[in-house]
């Protein structure tokens, strides 16, 4: 195997890993405020991608579609929180796991019936031509994914640190009860985190669709790997996901190269189980002391 091919596959894989990182970042947003996450997040990615595609098909320009698509994702996120999460959180139960799975199940079936089961190309003005960087071919599309992921994450982090609403977000993440006593509505902050998480999912869909094409089960594999990334990095750590995403993406590329393309998913899955076994709080997470 020539080294250049190995490097090429590693780099392409790592760039795809950025998408896993972005979806994983969406898990962190809701986990921070509510210790819950949306098991149907992949379906949010998929439905948002279909909606964005529909917006393009009715003649909207790409630049107008992006904010609308993200807004729609945010609305979906709010819907998930209201329908599937809020009641369970009030009851302090883990019912949200099941409820978000149910919402995801519904969305897949909905998409199958509304948009059909076929693969659909997702047009984009960004060219798919390769550029030669340091002896590796990278497409503009792949670069746009990396830039987009980092940009939206940076934007949300700035929001969390610089705005009053963002500080409320941080306060609820740190201590829900104390934040409530200070007059911050934890419920609304959780809703906000789900909106942000939905927006992030929609943006991930818009970024990745030109590469993967759009179909109802497009996000099933994506989200599984995003779970791995989130758990391995730790559900509470901010930028750790990017690093883990890059590594996992690269590993996947190498696995499909050396073991066979059917096995490309396995490194993430095995790493997830191992990570949970060795360090349940993730590489960048903090240890928990249980109190009696």
Partner 1 sequence: MLKRLVLVRGAEIALFVVLGALPLAVHSPYALALLTLLAIYGVVLIGLDVTVGYLGQVNLAQAAMLGLGAYLAGIAVTRYGVGIPLAIVLSGGFCTLVGALLALPALRLEGPQFALATLSFTALCATALNELEWLTNGAQGLQIPRPLLLGHEVDARAFFWLCTAILALVWLAMRNLLSSQWGRAFEALRDSPIATDAMGVGTYRHKVAGFAFGSGLGGAAGALYAFDLRYLQPQTFDYGLTVTLLLGVVLGGRKSLWGAVVGAALVALLPNLLSSPPLFRAFSGIAFALALVSGVRGLVRRKTDAFRALAPIAVTLTLVIGSFLASNIEDWRRAIFALLLFSVVVGLPEGLMGFASAGLARLFRVAPPDLPPPAALEQVLPARAPDGSVLLELAGLSRHFGDVRAVDGVDLTVKAGTIHGLIGPNGSGKSTLVNVVSGLYTPSGGQLRLRGAALRGGKPVAAARAGIARTFQNLQLFGGMTALDNVMVALRGAWRVPLPLVLLGLGRLEELRGQAAALALLELVSLRGEARTRAADLTYGAQRFLEIARALARRPDLLILDEPAAGLAQPDVQRLLEIIRRIHQRGITTVLIEHHMDVVSELCEIVTVLDGGKVIAEGSPAEIKRDAKVITAYLGAAEPDAPAPGAAPAPSAPAETP
Residue from 5, 87, 178, 182 binding partner 1 (CB under 8 A): 87
Residue from 95, 120, 136, 254 binding partner 1 (CB under 8 A): 95
Tell whether residue 285 is a contact of partner 1 (CB under 8 A): no
CB 29 within 8 A of CB 200: yes
CB of 93 to partner 1, least distance (A): 8
In Å, how far from its chain's centre is CA 103? 17
The strand pairing partners of 133, in sequence order, are: 136
Q: Which is nearer to partner 1, 133 or 269 (CB)?
A: 269
Choices 125-133, 147-155, 199-207, 274-282 (CB under 8 A): range interacting with partner 1: 274-282
Tell whether residue 37 is a contact of partner 1 (CB under 8 A): yes
Residue from 101, 143, 150, 257 binding partner 1 (CB under 8 A): 101
What token pair was written down for 6?
A: 């190995």
CB of 190 to partner 1, least distance (A): 15
CB of 125 to partner 1, least distance (A): 34
Binding residues among 13-32 for partner 1 as defined by CB under 8 A: 31
Binding residues among 167-226 for partner 1 as defined by CB under 8 A: 220, 224
Tell whether residue 92 is a contact of partner 1 (CB under 8 A): no
Q: Which is nearer to partner 1, 70 or 201 (CB)?
A: 201
Helix or strand (DSSP H, E) at 136: strand 136-139
- Alpha-carbon gap, residue 124 to 129, rounded angstroms: 12
Choices 58-66, 92-100, 156-164, 243-251 (CB under 8 A): range interacting with partner 1: 92-100
Residue from 8, 54, 187, 266 binding partner 1 (CB under 8 A): 266
Q: Residues 55, 85, 244, 275: is their CA dihedral positive or negative? A: negative
CB 209 within 8 A of CB 47: no
Q: Which residues, other chains included, contact 160 with Cβ-Cβ below 8 Å and sequence gap of 6+?
A: 166, 167, 169, 170
- Alpha-carbon gap, residue 237 to 28, rounded angstroms: 7
Tell whether residue 103 is a contact of partner 1 (CB under 8 A): yes
Phi then psi for residue 131, to 5 deg, are -115, 150
What token pair was written down for 278?
A: 């060795």
Residue from 5, 7, 98, 133 binding partner 1 (CB under 8 A): 98
CB of 277 to partner 1, least distance (A): 3
Binding pattern for the stretch 122-141 against partner 1, x by CB under 8 A and - elsewhere: --------------------
Q: How many residues line the site for partner 1 (CB under 8 A)?
A: 47
Exposure string over 146-175, b if 16+ CB within 10 A, otherwise e? bebbeebbeebeeebeeeeebebbebbbee
Cβ–Cβ contacts within 10 Å for residue 285, how many?
A: 17
The strand pairing partners of 136, in sequence order, are: 133
Binding residues among 39-68 for partner 1 as defined by CB under 8 A: 39
Q: Which residues, other chains included, contact 18 with Cβ-Cβ below 8 Å and sequence gap of 6+?
A: 145, 146, 149, 150, 242, 245, 246, 249
- Residues near partner 1 (CB under 8 A) are 31, 36-37, 39, 83, 86-87, 94-95, 97-99, 101-103, 105-106, 108-110, 112-113, 220, 224, 227-228, 231, 235, 260, 262-263, 265-266, 268-270, 272-274, 276-278, 280, 289-292
């Amino acid at each position: 195997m020539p080294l250049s091919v190995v490097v090429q596959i590693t780099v392409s894989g790592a760039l795809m890993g950025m998408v896993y990182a972005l979806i994983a970042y969406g898990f962190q947003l809701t986990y921070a405020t509510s210790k819950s996450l949306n098991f149907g997040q992949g379906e949010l990615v998929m439905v948002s991608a279909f909606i964005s595609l529909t917006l393009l098909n009715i003649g909207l320009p790409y630049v107008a579609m992006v904010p609308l698509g993200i807004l729609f994702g945010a609305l979906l996120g709010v819907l998930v929180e209201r329908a599937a999460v809020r009641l369970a959180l009030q009851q302090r139960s883990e019912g949200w796991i099941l409820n978000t799975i149910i919402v995801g199940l519904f969305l897949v079936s909905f998409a199958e019936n509304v948009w059909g089961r076929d693969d659909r190309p997702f047009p984009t003005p960004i060219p798919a031509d390769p550029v030669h960087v340091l002896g590796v071919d990278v497409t503009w599309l792949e670069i746009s994914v990396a830039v987009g992921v980092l940009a939206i994450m940076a934007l949300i982090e700035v929001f969390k640190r610089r705005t009053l609403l963002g500080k409320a977000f941080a306060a609820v993440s740190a201590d829900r009860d104390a934040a409530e006593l200070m007059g911050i509505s934890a419920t609304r902050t959780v809703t906000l985190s789900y909106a942000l998480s939905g927006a992030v999912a929609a943006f991930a869909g818009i970024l990745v669709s030109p590469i993967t094409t759009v179909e109802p089960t497009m996000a099933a594999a994506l989200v599984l790997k995003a779970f791995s990334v989130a758990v391995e990095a730790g559900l509470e750590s901010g930028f750790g996901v990017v690093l883990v995403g890059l590594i996992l993406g690269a590993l996947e590329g190498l696995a499909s190269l050396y073991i066979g393309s059917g096995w490309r998913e396995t490194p993430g899955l095995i790493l997830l189980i191992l990570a949970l076994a060795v360090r349940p709080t993730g590489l960048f997470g903090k240890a928990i002391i249980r109190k009696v």
